[in-house]
């Protein structure tokens, strides 16, 4: 990938809720906007999701998931999946970490078993499948189940906003385990939260760019304490902006760089 971006500046973007609407694909207009931005600055994606989900939302156009992920890591200067635990630069893998190696099977199962037991006692508007998703760098916990439809997703989001289901779940985990497992929790998106080792939040990706850029901008929507954009937004190495959706992102980026 070739770029004429200004040296010394990189702009990092959360994906879900920042460049796309929740769990939806990037619009052609936003994709064109990002392409124009890359002519001015270096651009990186920082998602809590795995690489396949980022590719799905950000316009990976291959015929299968392998081709789609290849497309996405070559489309942007940097792609940091799973908070940067899986890191790509110009299409090449920079680094990859594993939560399994960090925790070990015994602690991992202890955590998962507790989550499944807790969720079995929840009464929600709907419950579907895929409640605990094991990723390379984190564990994603979803009370409604990631197999839910868009309608069920929206219903849970509204229910969670009122009843704080995810926040109460995180509070229960903190009470149960404390520092025992070395995990922290971040609520992101509409329906789930992430569990990962302390320090493995989105600031993890900064190690790959902090030496090469004088200015590191970050845009995200879940920037409240406990949200999965909070740590990187408040990190002293970044210039952070809170947004409420793709159009808001575009508005601020235009003011800064165009």
Positions marked catalytic: 14, 16
Q: Are the beta carbons of 45 and 32 closer than 8 angstroms?
A: no
Q: What is the 3-state secondary structure (H, E, C) of 31-43?
A: HHHHHHHCCCCEE
Beta bridge partners of residue 219, listed in sequence order: 13, 241
Report CA 243 to chain centroid distance, whole Å: 15
What is the rounded CA–CA span in Å between residue 90 and residue 73? 7
Q: Is residue 99 within 8 Å of residue 139, measured between CB atoms?
A: yes
Inter-helix orientation angle 246-257/28-37, to 10°: 20
CA distance 223 to 241: 9
Cα angle value 221/222/223 (rounded, 5°): 95
**CA 60, 215, 53 angle in degrees (round to 5)?**
20
- In which element (H, E) is residue 3 found? none
State how far the Cα of 238 lies from the Cα of 216, in Å rounded to an integer.
5
């Amino acid at each position: 990938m070739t770029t004429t971006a200004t040296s010394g500046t990189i702009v990092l973007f959360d994906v879900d809720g920042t460049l796309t609407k929740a769990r939806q694909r990037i619009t052609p207009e936003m994709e064109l906007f990002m392409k124009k931005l890359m002519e001015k600055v270096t651009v990186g994606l920082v998602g809590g999701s795995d690489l396949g989900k980022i590719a799905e939302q950000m316009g990976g156009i291959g015929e299968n998931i392998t081709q789609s992920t290849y497309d996405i890591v070559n489309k942007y200067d940097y792609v940091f999946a799973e908070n940067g635990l899986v890191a790509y630069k110009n299409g090449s893998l920079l680094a990859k970490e594993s939560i399994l190696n960090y925790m070990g099977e015994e602690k991992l199962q202890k955590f998962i078993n507790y989550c499944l037991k807790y969720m079995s006692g929840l009464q929600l508007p709907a419950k579907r499948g895929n409640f605990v998703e094991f990723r390379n760098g984190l564990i994603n916990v979803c009370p409604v189940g990631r197999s839910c439809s868009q309608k069920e997703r929206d219903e849970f989001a509204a229910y969670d906003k009122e009843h704080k289901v995810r926040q109460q779940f995180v509070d229960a985990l903190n009470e149960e385990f404390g520092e025992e497992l070395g995990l922290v929790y971040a609520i992101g998106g509409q329906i789930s939260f992430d569990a990962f080792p302390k320090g493995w939040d989105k600031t993890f990706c900064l190690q790959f760019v902090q030496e090469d850029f004088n200015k590191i901008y970050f845009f995200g929507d879940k920037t409240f304490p406990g949200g999965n954009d909070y740590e990187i937004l408040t990190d002293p190495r970044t210039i952070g902006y809170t947004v409420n959706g793709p159009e808001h992102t575009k508005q601020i980026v235009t003011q800064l760089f165009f």
